[in-house]
Amino acid sequence: QVHLVESGGGSVQAGGSLRLSCAASAYTFRNYYMAWFRQFPGKGREGVARINRDSASTYADSAKGRFTISRDNAKNILYLDMNSLKPEDTAMYYCAAGYDGSWFGSSLDVPEFGYWGQGTQVTVSS
35 Cβ contact list (under 8 Å, min separation 6): 47, 48, 49, 50, 51, 69, 95, 96, 97, 98, 108, 113
> Exposure of 111 by Cβ count < 10 A (0-12 exposed, 13-18 middle, 19+ buried)?
exposed
* pLDDT score of 125: 97
* pLDDT score of 99: 92
Residue among 25, 20, 16, 17 at smallest CA distance from 7: 20
Backbone φ, ψ for residue 11 (5° rounding): -110, 135
Distance CA(123)–CA(116), nearest Å, equals 21
* pLDDT score of 84: 98
Mean pLDDT, consecutive 10-residue stretches, the chain (126 aa), reads 95 98 90 97 95 96 97 96 98 96 92 96 97
Distance CA(24)–CA(26), nearest Å, equals 6
* pLDDT score of 27: 75
